[in-house]
Amino acid sequence: MKIGILGTRGIPNQYGGFEQLAEYLSVGLLEKSFEVYVYNTHNHSYQEKTWNGVHIVHCFNPEEKLKTAGQFIYDLNCIRDARKRNFDVLLILGYTSISIWGRLYPKKATIIINMDGLEWKRNKYAGRIRKFLFYAEKLAVKFCDYFIADSLAIQKYLQSKYNVPSTFIAYGAEIPGKAQESDLEEKGLVKHNYFLIIARMEPENNIEMVLDGFSSSNSNKKMIVIGNPTNHFGNYLQNKFRYDTRIIFIGALYDKAKLHSLKAFSTLYFHGHSAGGTNPSLLEAMASGALIAANNNEFNVSLLGKDAYYFLDAEEVKHLVEEVSHGAKENAMIENNIRKIREEFTWAKIIDQYADCIDECYSDKNAGVTQVRH
């Protein structure tokens, strides 16, 4: 079966969650005898035509010059190329800029889309952009044959809002090797004597809420903030908390082993994400054995259940900072989350689920079972 994967900047992953999914999934499907093509931007650092046996198709992306508008052109270029390749299946990761070209999807291909999170709910978007994203969501539902939801909350939303069924498939994660305390020494940190938050500097990730709560606490521990702080919101946060010497912005960090150590040895790992589906960084924190304090929303609760602490405002963050310590209860929470990764979120299992879903959707489409694009 010939399958094309669209909607990302390409592989190998150098950007984010969907690129990571495309990387693992493309190789995994190849090993299951799929013929796999992944679309990359023309200026991706990897310029070869194949990667680990996966075909790479480079398409022009003018995003550097045109900003967001360039994403729409890139997606159009990918679709125009896909129309020429006689794919059996197109797997689209996300809908924000590709769904407006839905009428151009190859008619004979089975179109499957991973709907990602509720993009129009993200705080970083203004009113007009939110309206467009909601419109784009409706177009995705209109022009795609089958749907994958990366969280049970998204699956429920698609059913209630659009009356469309979807297949729940989460992201995967790997259990890292042993954490190294020497990685802490490089940052001047001591085991279980610091708090940690790792996130893009965006309002919806509730970094400000976490830092407000920590700053008002009487803790003598440090708060380590990892993420590129050079955008407008990042600059705002650094300026607001510049007088609290306990708060340390260390910028972006891409070394997976060091990130694992920082998470594993933190007192609490704060996960403030409030929008989206199954968040890859949350799975990675679970896999690292971090004790997690998460924003109290249905996406996070569906993953963590009783195996995390929760917060909804700065006062609750302050309480967690001042009261939580590591004991038998906390160790059990950590072990339960690691067990979930081993049993439910391995990449091998996720790839199996995608392969089964693709086979079933392709068979149904060609048997006339589904009512396809309106």
Cα distances (angstroms) measured from residue 292 to each of 49, 201, 269, 289, 303: 41, 19, 5, 9, 12
Q: How confident is the model at residue 250 (pLDDT cuts 50, 70, 90)?
A: very high
Q: Decide if pLDDT at 99 tops 90.
A: yes
pLDDT over threshold 70, residue 373: no
pLDDT at 370 over 80: no
**What are the tokens at 259?**
């990130």
Same fold, 2-172+347-367 and 182-344: yes
The identity of residue 1, as a single letter, is M
Q: Can you tell me the mean pLDDT for 332-338? A: 98
Q: Residue 124: which pLDDT band, with cuts at 50, 70 and 90?
A: low
Reply yes or no on whether the pLDDT at 135 is more than 50.
yes
What pLDDT does 230 receive?
A: 87
226 — pLDDT class (breaks 50, 70, 90): very high
Split at pLDDT 50, 70, 90, the class of 118 is low
**What pLDDT was estimated at residue 372?**
41
Strand partners, 148: 114, 167
DSSP 62-115: THHHHTHHHHHHHHHHHHHHHTTTT-SEEEEE--TTTGGGGGGS-SSSEEEEE-
Residue with tokens 């079933």: 360
Report the pLDDT value the prediction gives residue 204, as an integer from 0 to 100.
85
Half-sphere exposure of 127 (CA within 13 A, CB side): 0
CATH superfamily of 2-172+347-367: Glycogen Phosphorylase B; (3.40.50.2000)
Give the span between the Cα atoms of 184 and 117, in whole angstroms. Answer: 34
pLDDT (mean) for 32-56: 97
C-alpha radius of gyration, the chain, whole number: 21
3-state secondary structure of 152: helix
pLDDT computed for residue 369 by the predictor: 52
Q: So what's the pLDDT on residue 46?
A: 96
Note the pLDDT of residue 276: 66
pLDDT band at 241 (very low <50, low <70, confident <90, very high): very high
**Mean pLDDT computed over 230-258:** 94
Domain ranges of the chain: 2-172+347-367, 182-344
Q: Any idea which of 24-38, 47-61, 108-122 has the lowest mean pLDDT?
A: 108-122
CA 315 to centroid of chain Cα atoms: 28
Distance CA 194, CA 47 (A): 41
Tell me what pLDDT residue 12 has.
94
> If you count DSSP H runs as helices and E runs as strands, how many of each does the chain have, helices first?
14, 14
Q: Is the pLDDT of residue 247 over 60?
A: yes
For the ranges 24-33, 144-153, 184-193, 271-280, the lowest mean pLDDT is seen at 271-280
What is the average per-residue pLDDT within 235-246?
97
Using pLDDT thresholds of 50, 70 and 90, give the confidence band for residue 96. confident
Fold exhibited by the domain 182-344: Rossmann fold (3.40.50)
pLDDT of residue 374: 34
Predicted confidence at residue 280, as pLDDT, reads: 87
What mean pLDDT do residues 111-126 have? 70
Higher pLDDT, 16 or 103: 103
Distance CA 176, CA 204 (A): 28
Q: Is the peptide bond before 12 cis (omega within 30 degrees of 0)?
A: yes
- Percentage of residues in the chain having pLDDT higher than 70: 95
Look at residues 267, 245, 257 and name the one whose alpha carbon lies nearest to residue 197: 267
- 266-302 pLDDT, tens digit per residue, is 999 999 988 766 788 999 999 999 999 999 998 899 8
Per the prediction, the chain carries an average pLDDT of 92
Q: What pLDDT, on the 0 to 100 scale, is given for residue 371?
A: 44
Of 125, 111, 85, 163, nearest to 7 (Cα)?
111
Q: Is the pLDDT of residue 82 over 90?
A: yes
Choice between 196 and 368, residue whose per-residue pLDDT is larger: 196
Percent of the chain whose predicted confidence (pLDDT) is above 90? 78
Task: Please state the three-class secondary structure of the chain as a single string.
Answer: CEEEEECCCCCCCCCCHHHHHHHHHHHHHHHCCCEEEEEEECCCCCCCCEECCEEEEEECCCHHHHCHHHHHHHHHHHHHHHCCCCCCEEEEECCCCCHHHHHHCCCCCEEEEECCCCHHHCCCCCHHHHHHHHHHHHHHHHHCCEEEECCHHHHHHHHHHHCCCCEECCCCCCCCCCCCCHHHHCCCCCCCCEEEEECCCCHHHCHHHHHHHHHCCCCCCEEEEECCCCCHHHHHHHHHCCCCCCEEEEECCCCHHHHHHHHHCCCEEEECCCCCCCCHHHHHHHHHCCCEEEECCHHHHHHHCCCCEEECCHHHHHHHHHHCCCCHHHHHHHHHHHHHHHHHCCHHHHHHHHHHHHHHHHHHHHHCCCCCCC
State phi, psi for 38 to the nearest 5 degrees.
-120, 135
280 SS3 class? helix
The pTM of this model reads 0.87
Classified as helix, coil or strand, 36 is strand
